[in-house]
């Protein structure tokens, strides 16, 4: 499957899922351990809570890559307060519309949602103190380019907090399956290649701060395994 086809498939699937949040491509059906991460998986279309390991402070600027329905971005907006700002970026118009409605309903004016691509973020160089992302980079065809973009929008000394799925020994039929791609299983890279992509973009101080096995029924009996990781990293000053 080429990159354009992958993006179109993800855009279509998540656009449809925006209207039925209880069944997003299988992602929200997973049951990771821990009540906080379970709630996050069900309500953000993600696989964890990147803010739980991010030291976001009042007055800071945050970019949420793949902001989906906006829950993580809105939580970050509350943390940064009226003198900070949050930019949510998503490639799906339905998700952007839903996130904007949620921000308006919450009365938050320090958050903006823009239509954009993780491989070409609509943000200025060195704008952000933090970038957060929740189970998105595994869906991106060019993961190295996505991390290079994240690096670009961070200011020197800025930090990344990301939760994502990684896979090992995934069978060919899962890797080729469109449904598995959109459930974040088929696109899950190995941990080694994932961390190498981060290092290749220039990140330093990369630390896997948490991991747990991810339930993936499509891998039953195949020997393949998937984990959810929480990772923090720094753009060197």
Rg for the chain, CA atoms, rounded: 16
Q: What is the pLDDT of residue 188?
A: 86
Per-10-residue mean pLDDT for the chain, 237 residues long? Answer: 73 73 39 42 70 95 96 97 98 94 97 96 98 94 96 98 93 75 79 97 97 85 90 97
Q: What is the pLDDT of residue 78?
A: 97
CATH dotted code for 3-234? 3.40.50.150
Q: How far is CA 123 from CA 12, 26, 109, 151, 204, in A?
A: 24, 30, 18, 11, 22
Q: What is the pLDDT of residue 3?
A: 74
Q: What is the pLDDT of residue 208?
A: 97
**Residue 105 backbone dihedrals phi, psi, to 5 degrees:** -65, -30
Q: What is the pLDDT of residue 42?
A: 45
Q: Domain ranges in the chain? A: 3-234
Q: Across the strands, what pairs with 132?
A: 64, 161
Cα–Cα dist 110/206, whole Å:
29
CB-CB contact of 125 with 149 (8 Å): no
Contacts of 47 (CB under 8 A, 6+ apart): 27, 30, 32, 37, 40, 41, 134, 135, 163, 164, 165, 184, 214, 228
């Amino acid at each position: 499957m080429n990159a354009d086809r992958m993006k179109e498939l993800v855009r279509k699937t998540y656009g449809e899922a925006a209207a039925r949040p209880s069944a997003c491509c299988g992602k929200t059906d997973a049951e990771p351990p821990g009540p906080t991460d379970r709630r996050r998986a069900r309500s953000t279309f993600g696989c964890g809570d990147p803010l739980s390991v991010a030291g976001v402070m009042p007055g800071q600027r945050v970019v949420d890559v793949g902001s989906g329905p906006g829950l993580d971005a809105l939580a970050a907006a509350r943390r940064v307060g009226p003198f900070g700002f949050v930019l949510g970026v998503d490639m799906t118009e339905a998700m952007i519309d839903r996130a904007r409605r949620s921000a308006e309903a919450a009365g938050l004016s320090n958050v903006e949602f823009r239509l954009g691509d993780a491989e070409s973020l609509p943000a200025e160089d060195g704008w952000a103190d933090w970038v957060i992302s929740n189970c998105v980079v595994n869906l991106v065809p060019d993961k190295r380019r996505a991390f290079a973009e994240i690096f670009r929008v961070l200011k020197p000394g800025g930090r990344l907090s990301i939760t994502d799925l990684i896979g090992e020994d995934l069978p060919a039929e899962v890797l080729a399956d469109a449904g598995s791609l959109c459930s974040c299983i088929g696109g899950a890279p190995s941990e080694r290649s994932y961390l190498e992509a981060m290092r290749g973009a220039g990140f330093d101080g990369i630390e896997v701060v948490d991991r747990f096995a991810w339930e993936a029924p499509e891998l039953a009996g195949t020997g393949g395994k998937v984990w959810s990781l929480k990772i923090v990293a720094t753009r060197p000053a």
